[in-house]
Structure 1
């Protein structure tokens, strides 16, 4: 029997791959951030993302390029990809919101929902479950939420101020925007032509109770690749998981 939820799940996505990646130098001196390889995999970050999107039912992806766009475009043209990919390049900087709107205008099904992900996120969780969560809440936009591990050790104290325990790299007590989204068709029309949607569109939707947050399930893998240390940690975690 077919799943009635399947009809409302996106089959298209935008990958925002235009960042400078300055904190990942020297890896990003000759390639954009999403083209940096996870050590030991032989595959760039965006390759992992496209495989994940395909596994989750996505058939069409728009990749928004920027810094060293030609390097990313060349790889996309020559790689054996599991999805149909279109690339777009902003002729002038439009900001995060404007860039997202520009990319969304190139999606093949403007009247259908869509996923979006930042080009430096490496994760694995059920986008189908996130899409169902989005539909159940009648949201215009749903953000994936992560609880990353802090880069420092933490201490516990008792009521008298004595240290009782040390905790290495504990999870944050706050959830953060994980850089993965589900958007309803009308969301693109709410984006600014230029500027940052996280300062305009998201706060507006939150006030209107039309913005939802989907917590990435405990045990699912999530990491933002921002620094060389993140690459090293991702490689270690990959080796430990046996994937």
Structure 2
């Protein structure tokens, strides 16, 4: 746990949820878990980029929750030159998203301190330090990063009379979505279900109590969820254009 000149506490620990089967990414995930898939041209699996990002943002300890083909991910983590300390956990039985998150969080080194979490299929870059400050300023129990992804289809604009005025290729969505990156206060862990989905239980309860915050990812920051082979291709193009 670190603080800044304003006394804000920023997390130094994180959970990475890396247990998904990635069925829509086959055949890439036939012999490796989803976070071990490499974005073409980068030379590093998705989780390698995530761990580097977390370390850049001040994280010193990460717990990686494994599932599908866990041994492949564990072997890579053991052999890689990582910029932070990493512990892996494997669920012995399915616990659901909330239960799995709680199980992984129990292995964090500092139970009394805040923590980050991220889904294992997210490739992004923005300031987690700013997100942690946003979380603290609102005295939130949990804060979700919010993204505005591009719609994969071309959009049509019309005037009030129904004439088409323009065509827009892959515009940003008018809706914000859960970006799969979080800041949690220490007490959040105990609010998670031991089994089941926290997005149907814990999050709605916190929202009703005004203890759930949403941090919009800054305009221009890179974010993409890697769900399909097309996402891999698009991410490779985008990162090449950004020089990353």
Q: TM-score range by the shorter chain?
A: over 0.9
Q: Which residue of 2 aligns with 1:58?
A: 59
- Mark the CA change 1:197 to 1:103 in structure 2 (over 3 Å): closer, same or farther: same
What is the distance in 2 between the residues matched to 1:208 and 1:32? 37
Mapping of residues 63-74 of structure 1, within 5 Å = 63-74=64-75
What's the CA shift for 1:4?
2.6
Unaligned runs of 5+ in 2: none
Q: CA deviation at 1:180?
A: 0.1
The equivalent of 2:172 in structure 1 is 171
Which consecutive aligned stretches of 4+ in structure 1 deviate over 2 angstroms post-superposition?
A: 2-7
Q: Any conservation in 1 of the 2:8–2:133 contact (CA below 8 Å)?
A: no
Does the 8 Å CA contact 2:144/2:182 hold for their aligned counterparts?
A: yes
Q: Residues 150 and 206 of structure 1: is their aligned pair in 2 closer, same or farther, counting only changes over 3 Å? A: same
1:105 aligns with 2:106: yes
CA contact (8 A) 1:5 1:132 kept: no
1:67-216 equivalences in 2 (<5 Å): 67-216=68-217
How many residues get paired?
A: 242
Name the CA distance, whole Å, in 2 between partners of 1:68 and 1:6.
Answer: 42
Give the TM-score, by structure 1 length.
0.98
Residue matched to 1:34: 35
Matched, 1:19 2:23: no
Instruction: Give the Cα separation in 2 of the matches to 1:107 and 1:12.
Output: 7
**TM-score (norm. length: structure 2):** 0.98
CA deviation map 1:143-200 (0-9, x unaligned): 0000000000000001111110000000000000000000000000000000000000
Contact 2:98 2:194 in 1 (8 A): yes
The reply to whether residue 49 of structure 1 matches residue 53 of structure 2 is: no
Offset, 1:3: 2.7
Query: Can you give the 5+ residue segments of structure 1 that lack an aligned partner in the other structure?
Result: none
